[in-house]
Amino acid sequence: MNGAQDKLKVLFASAEAAPWAKVGGLGDVAAALPAALIGTAGSALDIRLILPFHAEIKRKNPTLGYLGAFSVPNQTGVFSAELYVASLHGITTYLLDSELTNHNSPVYYGDPALDGRKYAAFSVALLEAARFLDWQPDILHANDWHTALAVYALKTLYQQDPFFKETRSLMAIHNLPFNGYGSEFAMTELGFMPGTYEDLPDWARLTPLPLGIAAADQIVTVSPQYAREIQTRDFGCGLHEYLEKHNNKLIGILNGIDTRLWDPAADPYIPFPFTAADTNGKTLNKAALQRELHLEENPDIPLLTVVSRLDHQKGFGLLFDAIPDNARKPWQLVLLGTGSQDLEARAEDLMRQYPQKIVSLLRYDEAMAHKLYAAGDLFVMPSLYEPCGLSQMIAMRYGNIPVARATGGLQDSIINYHKAPDEATGFLFTEKTHEGLVSSLNSAILTFQEKETWAKLMNNAMNKDFSWKSSAQNYWSIYQEIKSKRE
Ligand code: ADP
Ligand code: GLC
C-alpha cells in the first residue's frame, strides 16, 4: 500500500476519548489506540475518531472547525446533525452534535432510555457523517454498546447502500454486561427491525451490543483471558453460547497504556519524579500524600490505594467486608472513586469509622489519581470480572504493586508472586470472597516488610512493557485480515 488511495480507512467510533470525555478505561483506549496504530502502520492507515459532542467537551472548548449540517433519516422523517472537526493527539476527530443525541448531554445519563436514544441516534448519524464527508471507511471500529448499532445498521438499514458496500466492521467489547438494554423504543424510532440471528437469545433481538456482535465481521475483546471467559456461562451474560459457537471471529487483544502520559519520571501531577533505578521520589510522594490527607506520615505503614469507578464489577464488596476484621493491622487506605450511591455511602461510612486509616475521596480527579498511583505501595483491585483493566498497569508502572483477582486482563497483565516470585509484578487470588482478598493482602503486606524482595517486585513491575506497541500491531493485522476477507 503506497498511494493515498490505498490507505486503509478506519472510522473509530467511541462514546469517550480522554481527556475530552473520560468516564473509565474506554476513554483511555480511544485516546491512545488510534495514535498507536498510526505509529505502527504509518502512512498506510487513515484512522479517524468520531465522538458525540458531549456538553463536557463543549465546556473544554477545544479548537475546532465547523464542517456543516446533514440529515439523518428516521421513522418520522429526518433529523439534522452538525459535524465539527478537531485534532486529538494528532488524530482527526469528528464531533457530532444533534438534537437526537441530546445537545449538552452528559457522557452517560445512567438512564437506559435516555442513553439508548442518544447512542442509537449517534450510531446511525456517524454513518451519515461518513457519507457527508464523502469518506468511505474500509472498516468501522465500534466500541461497546454505544456504537454497536452502527455495526448492526451496516448489515440492515444500510445493507443495500452502495456507499457502504465495501465497509467491514470490528466490534470491540470492553464490558459485556453493559449491553444497551433499554434502547428498544429509540431503535424502533430510527427504523431498526429486531435482529433475526437465530443464535441470539430472544431478549437480544433489540439490544445493541448483541446485535453489533452478531453483525460484526470481527469481534475483539480487550484481553485474551476475557475472550475465553465470555464463552462461559459465568461471564457470558447470556451470550456465551453465541460467542462460543462463533469464536472463529472472536479474539482477545490486551490493552496498553499511554506510557508518555503515565510516566513516573515525567508526570506533571506528581511532586517527586522517580524511576525504576531510583525510587527515592516514590518515598517522598508517599510522605507528601500522607501529609496532604492527614494520615500518619510513616514510610513503614503500607499505603493501599484504589482508583476506580465505584461499581460492583470492581469487587468493592470484598474490600469493604474485609475492613472491620482487619482494622487493627497496620495499613492505610486511600480510595478515589465515584459511581454507585450505595458504594459511595459505604466508603464514606468506613472513613468515618476509621479516620486514622481510611480516606475516601468520592470524586473524579485526574490529578489525585496520578498522585495515588505514584504514592501507593499496594493497588487493590479485587474485581469480580475485569475485561482488561488499565489501572493495574498504570499502578505497576509507578511501582504500586497490585493485589487483584485472577480474572480477565488482571490475570493476563500481572505476574503472580505466589506462582513466580522471581518475575512477579503483583499478587493474584482466585476466590470471590473477602477471605481470599485478605489472605492475598496479608502476604503482600508481609512481603512489603522484606525490603529487598519488595524492591525486586517494584523493579519487575516498573520495567514491564505496558505500551500499546504490540497490541497495535495485532489490531493492524486484524484490520488487514478483515479487509482482505472482502476482496
Ligand atoms: P474501567 O474502564 O472499568 O473503569 P480501567 O482500569 O480500564 O477500568 O480504567 C479506569 C481508568 O479511569 C483509569 O485511567 C483510572 O485511572 C481512571 N479513573 C477511574 N476512576 C477515577 C477517578 N475517580 N478519578 C480519576 N481517574 C479515575
Ligand atoms: C472497560 C473495562 C475495563 C477495560 C476498559 C478499556 O470499561 O471494565 O476492564 O480496561 O473497558 O478497555
Alpha helices, H only, 42-111: 55-60
Q: Which residues contact 387 (CB under 8 A, 6 or more apart)?
A: 173, 174, 175, 176, 221, 222, 223, 226, 408, 409
Neighbour tally for 398: CB within 10 Å? 28
**Read out DSSP for 354-422?**
-TTTEEEE-S--HHHHHHHHHH-SEEEE--S--SS-SHHHHHHHTT-EEEEES-HHHHHH--BTTT-TT
One-letter amino acid at 213 equals I
Atom 1 (ligand 2) nearest CA? 174
Q: How far is CA 283 from CA 31, 67, 306, 376, 481, in A?
A: 31, 50, 18, 9, 48
What is the reported pLDDT for 6? 85
CB distance 131 to 72 below 8 Å? no
Atom 4 (ligand 1) nearest CA? 24
What is the reported pLDDT for 486? 57
Whether the predicted pLDDT of 99 surpasses 50 = yes
Angle at 197 between CA 193 and CA 202, to 5 degrees: 75
CA dihedral sign of residues 292, 322, 401, 27: negative
Reference 172, options 226, 95, 124; nearest CA is 226
Give the distance, in angstroms, between the CA of residue 391 and the centroid of all CA atoms in the same chain.
Answer: 10
- Kindly state if the Cβ of 254 falls inside 6 Å of ligand 2: no
- Kindly state if the Cβ of 458 falls inside 6 Å of ligand 2: no
pLDDT class of 2 with cuts at 50, 70, 90:
very low
CB distance 406 to 429 below 8 Å? yes
Whether the predicted pLDDT of 379 surpasses 70 = yes
- Kindly state if the Cβ of 390 falls inside 6 Å of ligand 2: yes
| Alpha carbon distance 410, 325 (integer Å) | 26
pLDDT class of 76 with cuts at 50, 70, 90:
confident
| Alpha carbon distance 473, 477 (integer Å) | 6
Ramachandran class of 248: left when φ > 0, alpha when ψ lies in -120 to 50, beta otherwise: alpha
Choose which residue among 174, 309, 335 to substitute to test ligand 1 binding: the one with the highest number of ligand atoms within 8 A of its C-beta. 309
Ramachandran class of 262: left when φ > 0, alpha when ψ lies in -120 to 50, beta otherwise: beta
Please identify, by atom number, the ligand 2 atom nearest to the C-alpha of residue 387: 9
The per-residue pLDDT for range 129-147, each reduced to its tens digit, is 999 999 999 999 999 999 9
**Read out DSSP for 142-199?**
EEHHHHHHHHHHHHTTTTT-GGGTT-EEEEEES-TT---TT-HHHHHHTTPPPP--TT
Please list the residues that pair with 49 across neighbouring strands. Answer: 12, 93
- Kindly state if the Cβ of 369 falls inside 6 Å of ligand 1: yes
CB distance 311 to 339 below 8 Å? yes
Question: Ligand 1 centre from 233 Cα, in Å?
Answer: 27
How many C-alpha atoms does 37 have within 13 Å on its Cβ side? 28
How many C-alpha atoms does 464 have within 13 Å on its Cβ side? 27
Q: How far is CA 115 from CA 30, 185, 299, 470, in A?
A: 19, 11, 46, 34
The ligand minimizing its distance to the Cα of 394 is 1
Count, residues in the chain = 487
Question: Ligand 2 centre from 302 Cα, in Å?
Answer: 27
Neighbour tally for 324: CB within 10 Å? 12
Q: How far is CA 328 from CA 331, 357, 402, in A?
A: 9, 10, 22
* Cell 493515498 belongs to residue: 4
Q: How far is CA 58 from CA 21, 84, 104, 117, 253, in A?
A: 10, 11, 8, 20, 33
17: helix, coil or strand?
Answer: strand
Q: Between helices 469-486 and 25-41, what is the axis angle to 10°?
A: 70
Atom 22 (ligand 1) nearest CA? 364
Please identify, by atom number, the ligand 2 atom nearest to the C-alpha of residue 389: 10
Helix or strand holding residue 103 (H, E): none
Please identify, by atom number, the ligand 2 atom nearest to the C-alpha of residue 28: 6
Rg (CA), the chain: 23
**Mean pLDDT of all residues in 159-175:** 97
Across the chain, mean pLDDT equals 96
Reference 391, options 409, 415, 364, 417; nearest CA is 409
**Mean pLDDT of all residues in 96-102:** 89
* Cell 492507515 belongs to residue: 45
The ligand minimizing its distance to the Cα of 30 is 2
What is the reported pLDDT for 103? 84
| Alpha carbon distance 14, 19 (integer Å) | 13
The whole-model pTM stands at: 0.96
Whether the predicted pLDDT of 5 surpasses 80 = no
Whether the predicted pLDDT of 1 surpasses 70 = no
Whether the predicted pLDDT of 102 surpasses 90 = no
**Mean pLDDT of all residues in 184-212:** 96
| N- to C-terminal Cα separation, the chain | 15
Choose which residue among 56, 258, 307, 343 to substitute to test ligand 1 binding: the one with the highest number of ligand atoms within 8 A of its C-beta. 307
pLDDT class of 100 with cuts at 50, 70, 90:
confident
